[in-house]
């Protein structure tokens, strides 16, 4: 079903005698066969209003009172939204209303959303182009009544107000702890059942969970290095005996922090630990000494142990690849971007936060020490990313709309999966983007439109 764009305006004087009347362009009323002789329902997110429609010759406009606009969460400025009429329920739907859930919002004008303020601005601009209302909120902004949410818009003008429960919630909470907060989970459950709200990226993925799930997805198994949740010294000892290099990764870590590379050397074993400030190294004379030293850390079961890979390098620095895979307006996975990330000097992780640099796949692969044919690598990486995204969709029973998939190439050209992030940062791809609104941001809004059916 096609949708119509309308400019929604408030006109305080027109409806003074009847707050329940709205004015809608005559051409839109004809196209959608909207009745004007009886009350219909106007729906915006969770807000449902009984209104009577009058026609206006103004093209592409919906005019309503300040009171109705306030109930829908609109400011004083005109806003472009999409409109559809559902004859069966006699409902005019306008929207979509998109709520972006963040972990914190500051009191600093211009930097209200901290380090992702630029992203929120792009998302707001993309919604303006697509015809959607977006607002931003935290779990603390959810009211106990669960009928409205307090939130912020980017504007112009920026304002704080009360908004409907959205058609779509885009979950940007950065941790499992926040995701699993009981009060939040109860709200999300209610929003789904009562308001038919769609929620995507609804779950924070940890590393072990991803690998366990993909072991049961036929297409993805070829990309999996040996990997386990590390619970015991015996498991650590077994992996270190089997492989010359293994990695210990925090199950819930990010930005490359806390990763330890364990390497067998001529004189024993070396443990290199990665942090934002640098890499620290510790030598052990034997595997037994190593296991004794770090057994306390692994007994808590908060680490994944993974087979070390002989990654391609550029000037002695290891390279990996970040693919951003997103659902599009047709509900299909699409690789929005893929970049090569080269580790900084004396580093073994490629994250930009730890000095890594970003470049295109082709340029980086051509500079690398990969053996054999370097043509077609980008295509193979994209196919691997799409296969893995399909595996996550199939084997993990939660709703994801985008995934950051970290891949690697060994020196023989084989592709390996490193990890999957369900709350991917936009920073890596932004370094190669020249557009005011990145394709990754536009894709979020278009997928939200698909979910809202507007």
**Three-state helix/strand/coil letters over 355-408:** CCEEECHHHHHHHCCCCCCCCCHHHHHHHHHHHHHHHHHHHCCCCCCEEEEEEE
Average pLDDT of the chain is 88
Report DSSP letters for 189-220, one per residue: HHHHHHH--EEES-S---HHHHHHHHTT-TTT
- For residues 62-89, give the mean pLDDT: 92
Q: What is the pLDDT of residue 234?
A: 87
| Residue 341 CA: distances (Å) to CA of 263, 274, 334 | 22, 16, 20
Res. 82: pLDDT tops 90: yes
Q: What is the pLDDT of residue 429?
A: 46
Q: How confident is the model at residue 396 (pLDDT cuts 50, 70, 90)?
A: very high
Q: What is the pLDDT of residue 32?
A: 96
Q: ∠ CA 271-274-276 to the nearest 5 degrees?
A: 160
Contact 22, 51 (CB under 8 A): yes
Q: How confident is the model at residue 106 (pLDDT cuts 50, 70, 90)?
A: confident
Question: Which residues neighbour 11 within 8 Å (Cβ) at sequence distance 6 or greater?
Answer: 23, 63, 64, 65
Strands 97-101 and 168-171: parallel
Q: What is the pLDDT of residue 426?
A: 61
Res. 17: pLDDT tops 70: no
- For residues 430-454, give the mean pLDDT: 85
Q: What is the pLDDT of residue 1?
A: 44
Q: Is 6 helix (H, G, I), strand (E, B) or coil?
A: strand
Highest-scoring range by mean pLDDT, 245-259, 368-382, 419-433: 368-382
Lowest mean pLDDT among 182-186, 233-237, 250-254: 250-254
- For residues 86-102, give the mean pLDDT: 96
Highest-scoring range by mean pLDDT, 46-60, 146-160, 413-427: 46-60
φ/ψ of 115, rounded to 5, equals: -70, -15
Q: What is the pLDDT of residue 231?
A: 81
Nearest to 240 by CA among 180, 191, 307, 185: 307
- For residues 305-327, give the mean pLDDT: 92
| Residue 195 CA: distances (Å) to CA of 58, 138, 146, 153, 452 | 32, 19, 10, 22, 11
- For residues 129-134, give the mean pLDDT: 96
Q: What percent of the chain has pLDDT above 70? A: 89
Whole-angstrom distance, CA of residue 109 vs CA of residue 115: 13
Res. 355: pLDDT tops 60: no
Contact 364, 320 (CB under 8 A): no
Contact 62, 80 (CB under 8 A): no
């Amino acid at each position: 079903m096609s949708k119509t764009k309308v400019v929604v305006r408030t006109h305080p004087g027109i409806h003074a005698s009847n707050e329940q009347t709205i004015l809608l362009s005559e051409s839109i009323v004809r196209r959608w066969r909207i009745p004007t002789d009886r009350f219909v329902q106007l729906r915006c997110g969770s807000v449902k209003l009984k209104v009577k429609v009058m026609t206006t010759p103004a093209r592409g406009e919906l005019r309503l009172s300040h009171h109705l606009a306030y109930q829908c969460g609109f400011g004083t400025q005109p806003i472009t939204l999409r409109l559809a009429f559902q004859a069966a329920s006699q409902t005019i739907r306008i929207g979509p209303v998109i709520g972006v859930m963040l972990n914190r919002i500051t009191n600093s004008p211009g930097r209200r959303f901290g380090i992702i303020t630029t992203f929120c601005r792009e998302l707001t601009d993309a919604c303006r182009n697509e015809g959607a209302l977006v607002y931003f909120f935290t779990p603390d902004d959810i009211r106990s009544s669960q009928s409205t949410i307090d939130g912020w818009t980017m504007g112009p003008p920026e304002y704080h107000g009360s908004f409907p429960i959205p058609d779509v919630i885009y979950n940007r909470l950065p941790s499992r702890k926040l995701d699993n907060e009981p009060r939040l989970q109860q709200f999300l459950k209610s929003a789904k059942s009562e308001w038919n709200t769609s929620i995507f990226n609804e779950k924070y993925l940890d590393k072990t969970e991803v690998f366990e799930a993909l072991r049961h997805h036929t297409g993805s198994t070829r990309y999996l290095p040996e990997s386990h949740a590390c619970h015991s010294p015996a498991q650590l000892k077994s992996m270190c005996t089997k492989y010359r290099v293994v990695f210990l990764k925090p199950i819930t870590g990010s930005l490359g922090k806390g990763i330890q590379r364990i390497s067998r050397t001529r004189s024993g074993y070396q443990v290199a630990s990665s942090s934002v400030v640098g890499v620290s190294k510790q030598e052990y004379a034997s595997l037994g000494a190593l296991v004794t030293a770090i057994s306390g850390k692994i007994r808590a079961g908060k680490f994944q142990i993974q087979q070390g890979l002989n990654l391609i390098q550029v000037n002695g620095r290891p390279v990996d690849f970040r693919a951003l895979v997103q659902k599009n307006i047709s509900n299909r996975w699409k690789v929005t971007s893929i970049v090569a990330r080269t580790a900084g000097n004396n580093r073994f992780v490629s994250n930009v936060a730890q000095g890594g640099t970003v470049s295109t796949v082709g340029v980086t692969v051509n500079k690398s020490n990969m053996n054999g044919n370097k043509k077609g690598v980008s295509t193979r990486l994209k196919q691997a990313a799409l296969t893995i995204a399909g595996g996550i969709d199939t084997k993990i029973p939660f709703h994801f709309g985008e995934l950051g998939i970290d891949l690697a190439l060994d020196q023989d050209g084989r592709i390996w999966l490193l990890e999957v992030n369900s709350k991917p940062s936009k920073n890596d791809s932004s370094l190669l983007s020249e557009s005011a609104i990145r394709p990754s941001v536009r894709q979020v809004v278009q997928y939200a439109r698909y979910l809202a059916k507007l």
